[in-house]
Homo-oligomer: A and B are copies of this chain.
Amino acid sequence: MYISITKTTHPGTLLPSDQLGFGIHYTDHMFIMDYSDEKGWYDPRIVPFQNISLSPAACVFHYGAEVFEGLKAYRRPDGEVQLFRPWDNMERMKNSAIRLGLPVVPPEDALEAVKALVKVDERWVPSDPGTSLYIRPFLYGTDAKLGLHGVHTAQFIIILSPVGSYFDNGMEPVKIIVETEDVRAIRGGTGEAKCGGNYGASNRAGERAFANGYSQVLWLDGVEHKYVEEGGGMNVVFKINGRIITPMLTGSILPGVTRRSCLQLFEDWGMPVEERLISVDELFEAAANGTLEEAMCVGTAAVICPIGELTYEGKAYTINNFQTGPLAQKLYDTLTGIQWGTQPDPHGWTCKV
């Protein structure tokens, strides 16, 4: 794939790490590629970061024709920049596009584009501990017709955002509330795709939780409102009475790259994992009788986020004395060690840009 490059004439100023935040500032450039049924994918280009200009009738504004990915580039101690399991993200974007009826970006082209863009904006990859360059590939339909007729023209874009450490002082346990009114997803729907609709459906509950002092919600399944599915944008892992349990991928749960990595690490460590349905009753019985030793959210943004307090139907339970547990700590240290290149990478999860 030949990617044309137009460099900005007004390069931006790098910010100190403690002012980065998450997904607020963007780098100098972006990647764009267009699609039509006739031409396929065409005109891959890196251009200065700029607004998107679309017809107000474009189907991305009306019919939720949009999927995205999230991954990071990390600055290694030797100064080089590496990605973490980017193949998995590009493969998932393919699956998301298929579910939504959007044209598929060949995963190898998507990865090539990510690497090319990160290379052009490499100076934006921060190096302070815990910082990284968040990479947001996204794909949407642009057909300017209001009839329901499928997606025949599209755009694939990648933007980059230097991000600070998710936690200011090491990992900090968070409060989470089980959502009992709104439903995020259902098997047969789009729950396992990374698409806008899932987040549109989640937004109200997330905001309600946030306004009440919780960092995010814990979603239940949409059929019986009984089984734990995932957090607000992250998968979940529990340790109950010595057993490690994570909700199985039923079709309505996002197959997270961090989740998959945790499962591999458990295997490496000889720790059996139960990937199965886990009911909210089982979880809260364990919380009540003290056998819920650890609970955590796992995802690209925070890596591992210990859950210090879980609330369900008005009852709050503290987990592990609101402390980061040893399992969360070990996962965090190992994963971040591999991601930032300070530990060996036995599974070949990283690749240099």
Contact = CB atoms under 8 A, between A and B. Distances in A.
Interface stretch (A59-67, A242-250, A256-264, A318-326): A59-67
A148 B199 contact: yes
Number of copies: 2
A12 B181 CA distance: 48
Given A51-B56, A53-B53, A62 B210 contact: no
A187 interface: yes
Interface residues of A, number: 73
A201 interface: yes
A23 B147 contact: yes
A100 B200 contact: yes
Contacts of A202: 148
B203 A65 contact: yes
A54 interface: yes
Contacts of A198: 64, 197
Nearest to A208: B101
Contact of A56 (B30, B58, B149, B187): B30
Interface in A69-118: 70, 98-101
Interface in A160-214: 161, 181-190, 195-204, 206-207, 210
Interface in A237-274: none
A1 interface: no
A49 B56 CA distance: 8
A198 B187 CA distance: 14
Given A146-B161, A148-B232, A186-B222, A197 B64 contact: yes
A201 B210 contact: no
A201 B190 CA distance: 6
B190 A181 contact: no
A53 B61 CA distance: 12
B136 A199 contact: no
Nearest to A66: B61
A206 B147 CA distance: 12
A220 to B, nearest CB: 9
Interface of A: 21-24, 26, 30, 49-58, 60-66, 68, 70, 98-101, 134, 136, 138, 140, 145-151, 157, 159, 161, 181-190, 195-204, 206-207, 210, 216, 222-223, 225, 232-233, 301
23 contacts: A24-B146, A51-B53, A51-B55, A52-B53, A52-B54, A52-B56, A52-B61, A57-B159, A62-B199, A64-B196, A64-B197, A148-B203, A148-B232, A183-B186, A183-B187, A183-B189, A184-B189, A186-B189, A188-B225, A190-B200, A195-B200, A196-B196, A196-B200
